[in-house]
Structures are given as C-alpha cells and as structure tokens.
Structure 1
Amino acid sequence: MATTMIPRIEDSGVRTRVVSLTPAPAVDRVYVVDGLKTGHVNRARHIEAHIAGNGVNLARDLSAAGNAVAAVLPLSLEDAGALVEDIDMFHVVPVPQSIRVNAVVIGADGVTTNINQAAHALSDIDWNGLHDAVGRAADQLRAEWVVVGGSLPPTSNGHGVDPSALLEIALRTDGRLCLDSPGSVVADWLRRGIPIDLISPNIHELEELVERSIDTLGDAVDAASRLVDHGLRAVLVSLGRQGAVIVTPTRQIWARTSPSRVVNTTGAGDAALAGLITLWRGEDEQQALEHALTRAVRWGRAAVGLISPTIVPENIEPARVQLEVPPRSMPLHHDTFPLAKRE
C-alpha cells in the first residue's frame, strides 16, 4: 500500500448507534499541578471531577459528535442524582455501593498519574440488571455496536458478566461486539469462543495479552495478527505519539499525524476507539478502514490536549493523517504517552 494522505472528514454526516456498558465506573478527580513531588505538599492550580470509565468516556465523545448513544452503568441512587448530568444518555442500574474514585494528577509536562480505587463487587442481581439494561437500550436504538468498556468487577456470589448474552444482544440488532477491557478479560472471552469484532489495546495491554515483549511495530502487528487468527475481527493498537495500527484478517494499516501538546492522556484511547466505530461497521475493506483509522487518530490526538475527557467537534483540528504499510523494524517508544486506558 502506498503512503496516502486523507483530508479532513470530521464533517461527515455519517452517524452510528452505540450502547456502551461500563461495569466499574469511577469518579475522576483531576488535579493539575506544576510538578508532582512525592513526599511533599503539592499545590493544585486546577481541580475538577466527573463520572468516568472507558465506556462512559467513549459514550460522551460519541454523543458530543451527534451519534445515538446509551451508556449503561451501575450507580447508587445517591451517586446517580449527584453525578449523572445527561439523563438521556445514561441508563443507570441501581446498586448499593458508592462509586469508586480515581485520582488523576496531571503535571505541567503532560505526564498523567492515576491512583485508581479497586472496583466494587457486583451481585448476580446487579449483573442481571446490567444485561437487561443493555438489551433494552440496544433494541431501542437498533444498536450497531455494543461496547463493553473497562475492567469487570469481581462477583459477590455469582458468575458476573455473561459474554454470550451480550453477543446475542449485538447479533439480534445486526450489530457488532467490541471488548475494550484488560488483556485477561479478552483472553478469557477468546477461550470461551466468543467472536469479538474489535479490541483496542495500547502497547502495554497488548504485551499483557500475548505475554511477550513488543519492541517494534512488526512485533505489534504480529501480536495483533495472532489474536485475529484466534477469532478476532480486528485489533486497533494505540501507539501514543506514534499513531495507531489496525490489523484485520487481510489488512495491516499504520496511521500517524503530527504530535499534539499533551495535557491529559486519560481517555485518549477511548476517544480513538469512538472515532473508529463512528465510521467502521466491521468491513475488511481498505478504504473503509483507512477513513475510520484516520478519524480514530484525529480523535485520540484531540483528546490528549484536553483536561476534560470529552472531545467535541470544534476541538478536532484538521490534522493531516498519513497512512501506510507498517514499517516492521520501526522501534516503539514505551516511554511516550500511551493513549491511556483504565484498569
């Protein structure tokens, strides 16, 4: 594939319908400091808080761009009343536990430190409520994507998430199933034979999933290809400042653009995934993948320049995106900021 340049496509009239499930949401308490010094008092020059989690962040980005979205999540009634700001988008399943907290400390150099509280256990009743809410929302929207985002909480007395049920929900609306979760969850679903349409790890998560070091772009492509051989339709690998690569049964495409000033990496991977699925419906076709990957890189680039986890169309610069066959020998810089994800 020759190197190509794709013009700006953010004004596309294409819209998508998505249901996201975030079983372990959190409140992100964001502190912006001039420099983080452990063992010292650090003065924050800006503080904000918002409800977050992989599926929540993705849903906000999709909604801000005009897509039809339902974000399903468990919340206590007290938290729901205080935290949920868009009642039309959020579909809350009541649970007794208070929401967990993720402290996000952002330095002036753009380095983001997360201190993340462990997820609370959910009961069988809670999980059944989440499955039912996803099903109702998917039927109502005729969802094109069902996205499971973030970690899966431990169960207090039962079996937890039912991937077969979520797959059935996606299939009955002729939709696709995306799993945006840690590598251990992806590996478990693959062992169960669940045909996942899309995952979107960063390099560190991909290493966890394939249990080996990834030092070059060729290593990343090979790791993603092995996952595709095990039944995945596509793997979107976030490479931070080095862009992203998508791997399908017949395609390998690397996309990159000019670097952005990094303010907060939290949620950038969610933005990239959101950008991809607004234009991609699972086709293993060159032009469709190129256009979707171009948007994914643009949205991820826009997200790292913001304190807030939500991008809106006016935040997305008309950056040029270069697409090419992945150069296998290119070293990957693990010390650059990944398009961050949440455990």
Structure 2
Amino acid sequence: MIVTLTPNPSIDRAITIEALHRGEVHRATGSRIDPGGKGVNVSRALAAQGADTVAVLPAGGPEGHLMEELLDAAGVARRSVPVSGSLRMNVSVLEPDGTTTKLNEPGPTLAESEVDALLHETLEAARTATWVVGCGSLPPGVPSGLYAQLVTRGRELGVKVAVDSSGSPMTTAVDARPSLVKPNHEELAELVGRDLPTLGDVVAAARDLVEGGIEVVAVSLGGDGAVLVTADELVHARATITAPLSTVGAGDCMLAGLLHGLSSGMTPADALATAVTWGAAAVTLPGSRVPTPDDLHGIPVEVTRTPDPHLVLGH
C-alpha cells in the first residue's frame, strides 16, 4: 500500500476556453471539478489503476466537505483531519493547444495541533504501507521541516518515504535523506543551486543527491520525459503526445506510476516506463483527470540507459 500526505490539498476547477486574453470576458467551452493537491492526485491515480492507497489530508469548510465527497466518489480511501479553515480552490485555464494557466490559492492556516494530527494519521496509516509520500506545498502555519520529520519518523517505522515538493520543505527533506525524491527540472535546479540546461547536467545533479544518501532520484522533464538515477542505474524514458489537453497533475500521475512500479517489484527501468506512461496519459485527459487502465493503451514509450547528455532540455 502507498500512503500519501497532502498538507495543502485543493479543489481543482479546470475551465476550457478558446484563447486567454488578459482583461477580457471569456466564454468557457467546458469545465470540471476534481479533488487536487499533489498527494491527492497520486492517490487518485493509484486508485484509478486498482492499487491500494490511503490519502491523508486536512479537511475544513465547504471545500473540505466537497473534497471528501469527491474522493469518496472516486473510490479513494482517506484519513481526513478536521481543520478550522477552509481548503483552497485552485483554478486552471486550459487552451486548445494544451497551454495551462494556473491560479493557486495559499490554503488555510493550520494550527500546531492540526499539523501534529496530520503527521500522526500519516504514520498510523504507514504501519501497513510499503511507501509513504509527502507531496506539495505547505499551507501557512506548517513548519518547513514537516517532510523531513516524516522521513525520520517513517524510517523508524521501517517504511520507505518519498518526497515531491520544492523550496525550503524540499531542501530540509533532502537533508533527512528520504528513499526517493521526484523534483521537476526547475525544482532540481533550485535544489542544487545551479542551472541545468542539458540532460547531462540533470543527471550530474541527480547523482550528487544520490551520493548524499538518497536511493532514487526521479526527475520529470515535461516533454523531454523523465530520468531516474540510483547508485547503479541511469534510465531515461520519453513518450510523444501529439494532442495534449492538460498538464495539470501529470507529474503526480508520473510519481504514482513510479511508486506503483517500484512497490510491485519492477526494475527501475520498467518502473520509469510505467511512470512516463501514466504521466503521458494524464496529459491527454481534460483538467486534472487521472488515467484509468483504458487510457494507457497506445502510448509508445522510449527507454534508454544511455541517454544523450548533450540533449538541450525544453526545446
């Protein structure tokens, strides 16, 4: 089982328009609401594929009630921690060419007792888990060391901990040496403090983290796929999507596929191929919808252990 902790979940409203023009009135051609937040998306993707998962999250206000209803409807097992504030609502504006403009609210301020309850519920769920993953930004009131604390406490329970975040929460988590981190290209550059224009630069930065004590570093690279680095492995995988609809949650679906593959005993190469398939499938779906098994068919994935280090990323 895979347990996810999402300290700052959201209701995700995706609105589709023909083209975004600042300051003008737009007529939407479609819209949808999904439960969101990185860890919530990971659990949604796992549940959609029939994998065992539990989502731990705060729930407060009308948006909190809606979140619980949406998760229940999606068949996602959850442990909700009541909080006094209302969950945030994030808005994504989607254009036909796949361009996504996001407006993210900060989230409710959590009291110290609410933060403690979140960590407690996560660790209780982790007692029967193979992986625990701390995901996303932290709302106001949550100390930046939350994920680092999760890593330390998870290690005491004998469970592997993964972290997907950015900024100070990610930096402090890395110092605690989680089993796996999943930054994107920009987050990895921020983490190591230097620009990473080529695939070779990304691999070198990932190897620095592995040498620092992290077992698996998986970096999502958008249209350039993803790369996975361990002490013994270097794997690059990429899928080509010709008709993207939305990139919202694609990296979370990739992480879900990776953790599912690793927990199922796949080799790192096969787990990364699964991850890229799940992430690419998410890009073909509207809003932050997660792929079902039927959505995974027909997505070709190229996998290599000898990637071109001179590949310039983002071109």
TM over 0.5: yes
Q: Which residue of 2 aligns with 1:130?
A: 118
Report the secondary structure of 1:58's partner residue.
helix
Report the secondary structure of 2:47's partner residue.
helix
Report the secondary structure of 1:280's partner residue.
helix
Q: Which residue of 2 aligns with 1:38?
A: 22
Partners of 2:289 and 2:147 in 1: CA distance: 29
Partners of 1:260 and 1:58 in 2: CA distance: 24
Q: Which residue of 1 aligns with 2:178?
A: 196
Partners of 1:162 and 1:214 in 2: CA distance: 25
Q: Which residue of 2 aligns with 1:117?
A: 105
The structural deviation recorded for 1:64 is 0.9
1:332 has 2:313 as partner: yes
Partners of 2:34 and 2:6 in 1: CA distance: 15
Partners of 1:159 and 1:277 in 2: CA distance: 24
The structural deviation recorded for 1:184 is 2.7
Partners of 1:190 and 1:271 in 2: CA distance: 22
RCO higher in 1 or 2 (8 Å CA, sep ≥ 6)?
Answer: 1
Contact 1:123–1:160 under 8 Å retained in 2 = no
Which sits farther off after the overlay, 273-282 or 113-122? 273-282
* Aligned residue among 304, 307, 312 for 2:292: 312
The structural deviation recorded for 1:260 is 4.0
1:149 has 2:135 as partner: yes
Contact 1:22–1:150 under 8 Å retained in 2 = yes
Contact 2:63–2:89 under 8 Å retained in 1 = no
**Correspondence 1:44-123 to 2 at 5 A:** 44-76=28-60, 78-84=62-68, 85-87=70-72, 89-123=77-111
Q: Which residue of 2 aligns with 1:300?
A: 279
Partners of 1:289 and 1:244 in 2: CA distance: 12
Partners of 1:208 and 1:135 in 2: CA distance: 29
Contact 1:30–1:106 under 8 Å retained in 2 = yes
The structural deviation recorded for 1:187 is 1.2
The structural deviation recorded for 1:170 is 5.1
Partners of 1:312 and 1:251 in 2: CA distance: 29
The structural deviation recorded for 1:51 is 2.0
Partners of 1:320 and 1:116 in 2: CA distance: 33
Q: Which residue of 1 aligns with 2:149?
A: 164
TM-score (norm 2): 0.92
Report the secondary structure of 2:236's partner residue.
strand
- 1:297-329 per-residue CA deviation (whole Å, 9 max, x = no partner) reads 100110001114311111112433222212111
* Aligned residue among 224, 243, 253 for 2:206: 224
Contact 2:146–2:169 under 8 Å retained in 1 = no
Q: Which residue of 1 aligns with 2:252?
A: 270
Contact 1:253–1:326 under 8 Å retained in 2 = yes
TM-score (norm 1): 0.85
Q: Which residue of 2 aligns with 1:5?
A: none
Aligned residues: 309
Partners of 2:145 and 2:85 in 1: CA distance: 16
* Aligned residue among 284, 287, 290 for 2:269: 290
Contact 2:180–2:215 under 8 Å retained in 1 = yes
The structural deviation recorded for 1:90 is 1.9
Which sits farther off after the overlay, 293-302 or 242-251? 242-251
Q: Give the aligned residue type for 1:330.
A: L
Contact 2:61–2:87 under 8 Å retained in 1 = no
Contact 1:302–1:316 under 8 Å retained in 2 = yes
> Any unmatched runs of 5+ in structure 2?
none
- 1:46-93 per-residue CA deviation (whole Å, 9 max, x = no partner) reads 112222000000000001111111100001164333332334612110
Query: Percent identity among equivalent residues?
Result: 36
Structure with the higher helix share, 1 or 2:
2
Report the secondary structure of 1:326's partner residue.
coil
